[in-house]
Each structure stands twice: as C-alpha cells, then as structure tokens.
Chains A and B, each alone.
Chain A
Amino acid sequence: MFKKGWVNLLLVFLPLAAGVVAFILINLFSQSVPPFLVTSDFGILAFVFGMTIRNLGTVVLILGILVTALFLFFYNRSLRRHEQTQILIDDVKQEAEQGRRRFLRRLDHEIKNPLTGLRAALVNMQEVQSSVDRQRAVENANYAVERLTRLLTDLRKLSDLGERPIERTQVDVPDLLQDVVDAAHVLPPYRGREVNLLIPKVPSPFPMITGDRDLLVLAVYNLVENAFKFTCATDSVEIRVSEDGRAIVIEVADSGAGVPTEDLPKIFEELYRGSNTRSTDGSGLGLALVNRIIALHDGQIHVRSSQEDPRGTVFTIRLPAAKKGLVLLASN
C-alpha cells in the first residue's frame, strides 16, 4: 500500500494538510448558516446538518486528522511487516551461508583423508623395496582413489538431481522393491545378508506411483545399504510397504544399534557424519540423496530410532499414490 521513504510520509500526512488548508479557507470564506438549522426544533438530522455546515472547517479538519491517523496506523504496520520479512530473509541468508560453510568444512574433511592416504601410498611406492610392500602401497592408493571417486560421483548425483527433470512413469512398487532386494543380495561387502521384504496381498494389484523408477530404486537401495552398514549379520533388515488410500508408505527398518538422538535431526544433511559413523565407509551423501529424490517425487521421509529396547531404526517414505485407493465409506 505504501511506497518507500519520504514520499510515503508525505502521502500519510496529506489528508491532515488538506484538512488544515480546508479549515482555514472555509473559516475565511464561509457564509453564515441560517440560524433555524442549528436549533433542535426541526429535528435532530437538521440540527446535525446545520452544525456540520456551520462548522464545516472543523469537520473537515477532524476528518483529515482521522484519515491521517488511519494512514499512520497502516504505515506503521507495513513498516513492521517489512522489518519482520527482512529479519526472516536475513535469517535464511545467514542459515544458507552457514550451511555453505558447514558443507565446505565437511567436504574439506572428506577430501583430505583419502588424499593423505594417497600421498602416503605414493611415498611408499617410491621408497619401499619389497614387491609385497609395493603391492600394498598400490592397493592403498587405489582405495583412496575409489573413495574420492565415490565422493565425486555422489556430489554429481546431487547436483544432477537439481538440474534435470525426472521421468514420470507408472511405477510398480512391489516390483521395484524386489529389484532392490535382488541388488542388495549381491552387494559385495554384504553378500549373503538377508532382507525381509513384506508386501501386502490386498489391495490387488498394489497401487502404482508416478515417478522415476531408477531414482526410486536408488533411494530405497541407499537406505538398505545404510541399514547393512550399521547392523551385523545377526540383525534383521526389513523393507515393508503399505498404502492408506492416498499414499504409498515404504519403510526400511533394521534392528541395529540405532542412531544417537542428537544425530537424528541432521541425518539428511549433506556430508553429515554421525558420531558413530566416522569409521564407516561412505561419502556422507547417501541419505541427502534419498531426501532429494523423495522431495522430487512430492513425498516425505522421516526417521525414528532408538538405542534402547525396543531398539532399531526405521526410515519411512510416503509417496503420493498415482490413483485414489479403496474408497473410505465409514469413519468414526
């Protein structure tokens, strides 16, 4: 409603100024009002009319004051709102800047470790004599390069996800989950680990979702790989799927040691490593990728975890169903 600066203030006080000018002019030039109009004999309306005409200057002045007061009220409210918005924008900017710095700090940490390993391995390659030691140095160098490559690949995935449109086709969820289980079975470090896949028989067929099948496989697979990383062979890993008519709910659950409570709010941040994950392999971008993929599908993801009995971690993904499910007929 109001523009910036002094123009606004001028506009706010314009009615008052107009009222003052009108008051002076009217009092200078106004004719006297017939006296009968200011007696109450002709009724209350005639009295008010007469008084208004007689004191027109005063009435206009009062109106000017009232309108200016009203304008001042709106102007002040608008200023406060503007200030609040500015504070919010500053907060968001500050948060983004902090996030960027945090990301760079973490990236620095993720790069310097394999790089230090690589430099040490190169020195060993030059200095060691025995072929066994040399072979070990080559293996260490390769391992460091693999870690850096994985980090770079995951960074590229994250950046790609922000840039390219995702495919939107009908996706058969049970079939997708079966693919994840098949792929997880042959994951080299976890070969032979079982994933319990629970798919309901009703409704039949299971409702489809609309989305990019490859990306959704990647998301659920990352969660399963994550579950494997933080559990041992005697723990259970489960994928459960259900529907509630509007959304498809996929849960990846494990009976592992659980996530410390203080880590839970940050678990989806890029390159965040929880206090119990420092020694675990990974780029630190896996869950950030899952989060991004689910958001691109207009879905939500959350995690609950406990380190005490009943312990375990459950990631829950909600994705909108492509079509409405069973019709709700009754409810209390």
Chain B
Amino acid sequence: MSPDRSTLLLADDDPTIADSLAPFLERAGFHVLVVSDGVSALEKAQTHHPELIILDVLMPRMDGRETLRRLRKAKIWTPTILLTQVGEASERALALEEGADDYLNKPFDPHELLARIRAVLRRARPGERSLSAAWLLTANDLSIDRRARRATLAGETVELTPKALSVLEYLMTHSDEAVTRERLLEAVWGWEYPAGTRTVDTRMAELRRALDDDPAKPRFIETIPGEGYRFIASVHGEG
C-alpha cells in the first residue's frame, strides 16, 4: 500500500459485488478494505480511519443506515456514500437525512461510483462535519431547514414544489461542484426521464424565479454550459 493512496471502506454483504468492485477501485488507485456487515464496518471505520466509506443499505447484523447513524453519533464525519436499494422510493431522502454525502441506486455502472467517490473526496474537509450531515443550510440570506422542508429568503418563506426544494437541497449540499442534469435526475427524481434535461431545466427556472436569481448575474445558481449547474454562494451548515 503506497502512502498517498486514499483508503476506502467498502461494506457490502454480496460477495459478487464486493469481489468485483474492490479490484476495480484498486485499479483506480485506491486502497480498499472490504467488510460484509454493518458491525464490522463500524469497527473498521473506527480503527482504520478510511478516507471514505461505501455502505450498502441491506446488510446482516446492522444495516447501512443504522451504521451511518452510529458513525455520525460517534462524531465520525468520514464521507459516506450509501448504496440504496432498488424499489424504495423514500430511500434517497432518508440517505440524505441521515448524513450520507452521496448515494447511488443499484444497479449502477462502476464508473459512476468512481465519479461519485472522486467528487465526494474533492469536497471533503477531513475531520469536519459535511454539509450533508447538517440540518440547516445557509448561503447569504437563503436558508433551508431540511427537517421542516422549508426554504427562506431574507426571512420570507420561499414557495417551492417538493422537487424544486430537493434540487436546491442537493445543489447546496454539493456547493461549488458542477452537478450534471443527469446526476440531478438520478439523485432527486430517482429515475431517468425522457426529456430529462428539459425536466431539470423547468425546475431550475422555477427555483430561480422563486429565489429571484438572475441567470445572467447569478447569486446562487450558475449554469455551466453543456454541463449542468453549480451552487456558487458559500454554504454553511448547522445542527
């Protein structure tokens, strides 16, 4: 193990997934620790201090969500990607609520996981609590109370549809990161949609109208031509 390789902890009870993903991630330049249940993941996270944890949701002894809750309770802020289960619509929302830094729906392309790992590691501030684990996000005069599902701008409640609020939440927890429309679709909508880019753009227009954010001179959301969107204001997390 070379000293500059980031260590990843991969927890998945399906040996075919772990055995195939681990060598793939090793080839991509990471050192990978593999465990097959939540309890072992919790132990390894405390003893080996990996740079990032990948948790499957359904695992024996302790499921991924409980593992994540216990990690955060123990003030271990290691960035975590949750591999959510197909067919559970509320899983995505729960993953964010429990402080996952990102999540992927199974089945996924391993390259997509790699892209997520790199993005999360780029964003990570070692030892610090990530924005994904914060209940209150603030950027200038805009804030989101994630528990109450409410956004306020200069103290006034912003009227947003649930989807638009989730888009804003995702952008704020991934601030200063170029987020593609495809990623937003996957993360917020959960399925791929026909007219997907238009679908995202329609919500973005709604969001900008509500936030009174001029796309030509954005305060909050910048369009990256041909790529997607970026939340440009500095975001602080609390709670």
Contact across chains for B194 and A156 when beta carbons are under 8 A apart: no
Contact across chains for B199 and A217 when beta carbons are under 8 A apart: yes
B202 within 8 A of A: yes
Interface on chain A toward B: helix, strand, loop, or mixed SS? Answer: helix
In chain B, positions 147-199 with a C-beta closer than 8 Å to chain A are: 161-163, 189-196, 198-199
A181 to chain B, nearest CB (A): 9
Top-4 shortest CB links A-B: A183-B195, A221-B194, A164-B89, A160-B89
In the complex, A213→B161 CA distance in Å?
Answer: 12
A322 within 8 A of B: no
Complex contacts, B189 vs chain A, CB 8 Å? 214
Interface on chain B toward A: helix, strand, loop, or mixed SS? Answer: loop
Q: Tell which of A167, A182, A217, A225 touches B193, judged by Cβ atoms closer than 8 Å.
A: A217
A179 within 8 A of B: yes
Complex contacts, B89 vs chain A, CB 8 Å? 159-160, 163-164
Contact across chains for B87 and A214 when beta carbons are under 8 A apart: no
State whether A167 and B161 are in contact (beta carbons under 8 Å apart), knowing that A149-B107, A182-B198 are contacts in the complex: yes
A82 within 8 A of B: no
Contact across chains for B194 and A167 when beta carbons are under 8 A apart: no
In the complex, A44→B131 CA distance in Å?
Answer: 98
State whether A160 and B87 are in contact (beta carbons under 8 Å apart), knowing that A152-B107, A167-B161, A167-B163 are contacts in the complex: yes
B114 within 8 A of A: no
A188 to chain B, nearest CB (A): 12
The number of chain A residues with a CB under 8 A from chain B is 25
Contact across chains for A167 and B162 when beta carbons are under 8 A apart: yes
B86 within 8 A of A: yes
Contact with B along A142-181 (1 / 0, CB 8 A): 0000000100110111011001100101000000000110
In the complex, A213→B202 CA distance in Å?
Answer: 10
Contact across chains for A179 and B161 when beta carbons are under 8 A apart: no
Contact across chains for A182 and B202 when beta carbons are under 8 A apart: no
Contact across chains for A160 and B194 when beta carbons are under 8 A apart: no
Complex contacts, A184 vs chain B, CB 8 Å? 194
Complex contacts, A67 vs chain B, CB 8 Å? none
In the complex, A163→B87 CA distance in Å?
Answer: 9
